[in-house]
Chain A
Amino acid sequence: MAAKTLTINGQQVTAEEGATVLQVARDAKINIPTLCHLDGMKDVGACRLCIVEVVGTPKLLPACTTVIAEGMEIKTESDRLRKYRKMTLELLFAERNHVCAVCVANGHCELQTLAYEQGVDHVRYDYLFPKWGVDTTHERFGMDHNRCILCSRCVRACVEIEGAATKSIAGRGAKSKIISDLNEPWGEADSCTSCGKCVQSCPTGALFNKGSTVAEMEHDRSHLDYVVTAREKKLWVTHA
């Protein structure tokens, strides 16, 4: 593999050909906010939080799916990027019913964390308060659509890591919904292996272990990491 040299925020970095901007930035300890990215799964460039400026490109590019090139000059922070990221998060909070105070993932939620990291102290858009249900038909897990941000991490964990493909997306636009099998109650979805990888991959409290109460739903991503490392590197260890 050839090495590529590029600069991120003025800092010169070298990385293997084929690496993404996000990988290279994280290796260089440069933080780029993400929400739909999760190590070990295919990147989809959906949440738009990792957008960066690339000199010579008029469009903003998602760091997670943009492959590095020789001589690339990347900026991960600017007033414009900060503003867009903040707006993206505000749009998410206004979209569904995110009530942190009574959420199982309070304190362990990536949406909540990103909001304060990006300086969101209130939401300027009207809250839409859509009607969404909670699916508690599975014996061990629950899905609260009110807290779902449609990042599709559960969908990818289910198909890419577990290989079950129980979870998918139905509908479109704001009416999109994570479904089990052919839009059946989760408890009746035959393909579900009850492995819980979707629950661990969820950035918010949308997917939770049944019985967890406010702030109890901590995610254990090491389990996902273990499977991915085993498969890709033939190492049966949890990544440091």
Chain B
Amino acid sequence: MSFLDLDEFLIDLAAQVEVVYSPVVDAKEYPENVDVCLIEGAICNEDHIEMVHKIRARTKIVVSFGDCAVTGNVTAIRNQLGLGNQENVLQRAYVEAAQLNPCIPKLDGIVPPLLERVIPVHEMIHVDHFLTGCPPSAPRIKSFVSQLLEGKAPQLTGTDIKFG
């Protein structure tokens, strides 16, 4: 959503990049030969593991985008409960806190099992750049993306790399 805060820069950007894969792009398979991938969110289930390895193999520049991808952030708070807490987490979310149809979603091959613990992306694959922030602000994203478009290795400093 923070990406959309880029406002009119999005129009400039659209002229320079082709969005080949995203939650809002209708592509089922992550394509080959991707230049840049901005990964949002931490790794928390088995599908994510498969996905990040695929991304790494098919992408030149992988970016951890936002605090969840960089640190685990809020999504990793469940790790404090200790290992083997997947069931408890699901129980809390889908049964105890449910207002309608309390049940734990389970469907082999469809609902990916949770991992023992949530991990930041760079614990699983090599990450080229880190864009912190929860969310990264639009100016920060703009500065980062602009540098990438100029063919430079993005260099962010000061408050542009602030967590939170």
Contact = CB atoms under 8 A, between A and B. Distances in A.
Contacts of B80: 97, 129-132, 146
A235 interface: no
A116 B161 contact: yes
A117 interface: yes
Contact of A97 (B70, B77, B159): B77
A101 B79 CA distance: 16
Given A116-B159, A122-B120, A129-B117, A106 B164 contact: yes
Contacts of A98: 163
The bracket for how many chain A residues form the interface is 20 to 34
Interface string A130-158: 11100000000000001000000000000
In the A-B complex, list the 5 residue pairs whose CB atoms are closest, starting with the nearest: A100-B164, A101-B134, A129-B79, A100-B163, A121-B161
Contacts, number: 75
A124 B120 CA distance: 10
Contacts of A119: 157, 161
19 contacts: A99-B74, A101-B73, A101-B74, A102-B74, A107-B164, A112-B162, A116-B161, A116-B163, A119-B157, A120-B161, A121-B132, A122-B122, A124-B122, A127-B72, A129-B76, A129-B80, A131-B81, A131-B82, A132-B80
A5 B123 CA distance: 49
A60 to B, nearest CB: 25
Nearest to B81: A131
B156 interface: yes
A132 B72 CA distance: 18
B158 interface: yes
Contacts of A101: 67, 73-74, 134, 163-164
B68 to A, nearest CB: 9
| Majority DSSP secondary structure for residues of A touching B | loop
A112 B163 CA distance: 7
A111 B81 CA distance: 24
B127 interface: yes
A103 interface: yes
Interface of A: 93, 97-103, 106-107, 112-113, 115-117, 119-124, 126-127, 129-132, 146
B76 A122 contact: no
B37 to A, nearest CB: 16
Contacts of B161: 115-116, 119-121
B160 to A, nearest CB: 8
A113 B159 CA distance: 8
A98 B134 CA distance: 13
A90 B83 CA distance: 23
Nearest to B78: A129
Given A100-B134, A122-B122, A112 B76 contact: no
Interface in B52-81: 64, 67, 70-74, 76-77, 79-81
Given A97-B80, A120-B161, A146-B80, 10 more contacts: A93-B71, A97-B77, A99-B71, A99-B74, A101-B67, A101-B73, A107-B164, A112-B162, A122-B120, A130-B80
